[in-house]
Structure 1
């Protein structure tokens, strides 16, 4: 599973990026949504995890652009404030993580996506 992680805070980006790595997972780190769009346009990722508050293009706007191309994309929005069910209405595979989140919460999401991809549901295309 290929994962794109967008986070402008360098220390957090490096730490969470390492936590997401694992067998069968590759993680690409970006510090801005603009970098993320450039990376994703080359070869779409299976899962995109993004901070909501980013300089320049926001994480929510980034998610909207990704979902406009493929509404079934796996997108996880990380935020320090509760997004409620609003973001989940954007697509069937949009999830939210409230910061600070537990490693177990992140791992559960990664496993959910891995299972869905393994069963052939909602692959990137």
Structure 2
């Protein structure tokens, strides 16, 4: 049985974490931005993979959450480029496609989590919690 995510604990973990959210669908993007901004005070947004990669190169975020199917550069291509820059990068992929090749590609490049659309926010919270915990642990180890 999956444990219920404590949203207050997630907010506490997320307070110093930078998050990049990449999504081309405007309605979904606006909905998820409203949700994520209540948890992550340091949130940036891109509308496609190329824009996301450009922002990442400038700012190097702690967590990247991205759709797969987008114009200019898809989420898997962007994730591969980001993993070259930072092999330990926390990346959570959101997909509307149950296509196994996307899932296998995600695993092969070391994606931290995979969430299917429509988004189950409890599952999203769990993945964000796990990634936030990993980021904070790495930051503590560096200090």
Fold conserved between structures, TM > 0.5 = yes
Q: Which residue of 2 aligns with 1:109?
A: 127
**Which deviates the most, 60-69 or 16-25?**
16-25
Q: Which residue of 1 aligns with 2:96?
A: 80
In 2, Cα distance between equivalents of 1:24 and 1:86: 28
**Which deviates the most, 13-22 or 41-50?**
13-22
Two-structure CA RMSD over aligned residues (Å): 1.9
2:76–2:105 Cα contact (<8 Å) kept:
no
Query: Deviating runs (4+, > 3 A) in structure 1?
Result: 22-25, 83-86
Unaligned runs of 5+ in 2: 1-16
Q: Which residue of 2 aligns with 1:31?
A: 47
In 2, Cα distance between equivalents of 1:65 and 1:74: 13
Residues 23 and 13 (structure 1 numbering): CA distance in 2 closer, same or farther, change over 3 Å? closer
Q: Which residue of 2 aligns with 1:16?
A: 32
Alignment partner for residue 112 of structure 2, among 94, 102, 108? 94
1:67–1:73 Cα contact (<8 Å) kept:
yes
Structure number with the higher helix fraction is 2
Unaligned runs of 5+ in 1: none
